[in-house]
Structures are given as C-alpha cells and as structure tokens.
C-alpha cells in the first residue's frame, strides 16, 4: 500500500501498546468513509459505470494530506492532491476498489478507474472516481456493495438523497438503499467488545462483522 492509505500491518501491536495477546487478532477500522454512489447509464439504458464519492474522516484526512500546503496559504497543493488520488486508487486495484457489482445475479467486471480527483472540504478529504463496467449491460436488477471485507476501512452509506443515485437511467429504473438491521456505530461497539474479550482471553473464535455492514444499493428496472 502507498503511504497515503494506512498500512494494514502492525495495527494490533500499536493499538495494544506492547501487550501480549493470545486470542485471535480482531478486525478494527482505522479509516472511516462516508460513501455515495451514482450508477451511470447510457442512451441505450445500459449500465456503463459506477461513480463514487468517498468522504474521509478528519483524522485520516489530516494524515493523508500532511505537508500538502506547499505555499502555506491554507490550501492543499493541487498537484499533491492529484498524486494522492492516483496513488490511492493504484493501491486499491487489488481490492477491486472495495466495490462489488452483480447484474441479474452475476458478477460484473470493472475496468480501471477514470475521471478521478481528490479535494478537501471542511477539513475532510474527498475522493471522486468513475469505475467503468468492462461490458455495459441492460439490467433487470443490479446490486452494489461498497466495503472492505477486512474492516480496516469502515464504509457507511448515509441515509441521504444523494447516497444512491441514477445518472441517465430510464424512468423504469429505481434505486434503493438497503441498510443493515444493525447500525454502523453498533457494529463498531460490538467489535470493541470483542477486542476487550480478546484482551481477557475470553474470545475463542475470531470476531466477524456482518458481510454487508455498510448496506447495499439495489437498482430494479421494470421490463416492458
């Protein structure tokens, strides 16, 4: 991983400050992201790509952009932000950009990101990028999940009008956000309890998180 995306190794030893742990390592988020998504359609009613907007937590934002104010004018250098966007996305290729798409029950392959940029607003880093589908397809049903299965990065899909949007879709297509029964804060609380149990040696099996803790975006297109 690049410097800008926190190293996944060594987090437990830092967290526990040298304590010896005999229980299994517990997944623990280091980065929090508020994600919103547009599903992009073409004129033939085919899905052509997924446009993401990721807003990072203030602590990670400060870390990732440290030293970017080259002119000491209170603004990050545009060239540094461009390098940050490119290096972060390059490091995420192996994770499929934390994006899983199924169209009519079958996985849809994604091409490398396009139209990417990084910016800062209200002290928070914002990463925007487009993930094209390798093969555009006209869906009956599309399911989209954004998340890190290791829970190193905790994604949330806010209950907002722009969290799941359609761009250029026909009127027959509607998007919905299906949130988990357990909220993100409750999920993190449960993980903290598991870490505490591990410290006491009372956790016998590795902690797990819900397979879809952030929620899922579903698009249904009624066929004529």
Single out the residue of 68, 35, 40 nearest to residue 52, CA to CA: 35
Q: Is 70 left (phi over 0), alpha (psi -120 to 50) or beta?
A: alpha
Return the pLDDT at 80.
94
pLDDT > 90? residue 142: yes
Burial of 29 per CB tally in 10 Å (0-12, 13-18, 19+) = buried
Structural contact between residues 54 and 34, judged by C-beta atoms closer than 8 angstroms: yes
Band of pLDDT at residue 181, cut at 50, 70 and 90: low
pLDDT > 60? residue 15: no
Least confident of 116-120, 136-140, 200-204: 200-204
Q: Write out pLDDT tens, residues 78-114.
A: 999 999 999 999 999 989 999 999 999 999 999 999 9
SS3 173: strand
CB atoms within 10 A of CB 84: 22
* Distance between CA atoms of residues 64 and 32, nearest Å: 13
Q: Write out pLDDT tens, residues 25-34.
A: 445 678 999 9
Band of pLDDT at residue 74, cut at 50, 70 and 90: confident
Least confident of 100-109, 148-157, 188-197: 188-197
Q: What's the predicted TM-score (pTM) here?
A: 0.75
**DSSP type of residue 185:** H
Average pLDDT value over all residues in the chain: 78
Band of pLDDT at residue 209, cut at 50, 70 and 90: very low
């Amino acid at each position: 991983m690049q410097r800008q995306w926190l190293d996944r190794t060594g987090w437990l030893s830092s967290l526990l400050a040298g304590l010896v742990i005999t229980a299994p390592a517990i997944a623990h988020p280091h980065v929090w992201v508020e994600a919103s998504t547009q599903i992009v359609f073409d004129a033939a009613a085919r899905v052509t790509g997924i446009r993401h907007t990721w807003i990072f937590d203030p602590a990670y934002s400060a870390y990732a952009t440290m030293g970017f104010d080259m002119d000491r004018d209170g603004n990050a250098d545009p060239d540094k932000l461009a390098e940050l966007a490119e290096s972060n996305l390059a490091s995420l290729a192996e994770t499929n950009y934390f994006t899983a798409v199924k169209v009519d029950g079958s996985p849809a392959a994604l091409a490398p990101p396009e139209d990417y940029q990084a910016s800062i607003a209200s002290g928070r880093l914002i990463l925007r990028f487009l993930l094209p589908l390798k093969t555009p397809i006209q869906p009956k049903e599309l399911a989209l999940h954004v998340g890190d299965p290791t829970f190193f990065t905790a994604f949330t899909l806010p209950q907002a009008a722009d969290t799941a949007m359609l761009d250029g879709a026909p009127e027959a297509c509607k998007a919905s956000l299906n949130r988990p029964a357990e909220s993100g804060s409750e999920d993190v609380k449960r993980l903290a309890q598991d870490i505490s149990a591990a410290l006491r040696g009372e956790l016998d099996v590795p902690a797990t998180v819900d397979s879809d803790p952030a929620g899922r975006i579903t698009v249904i297109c009624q066929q004529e």
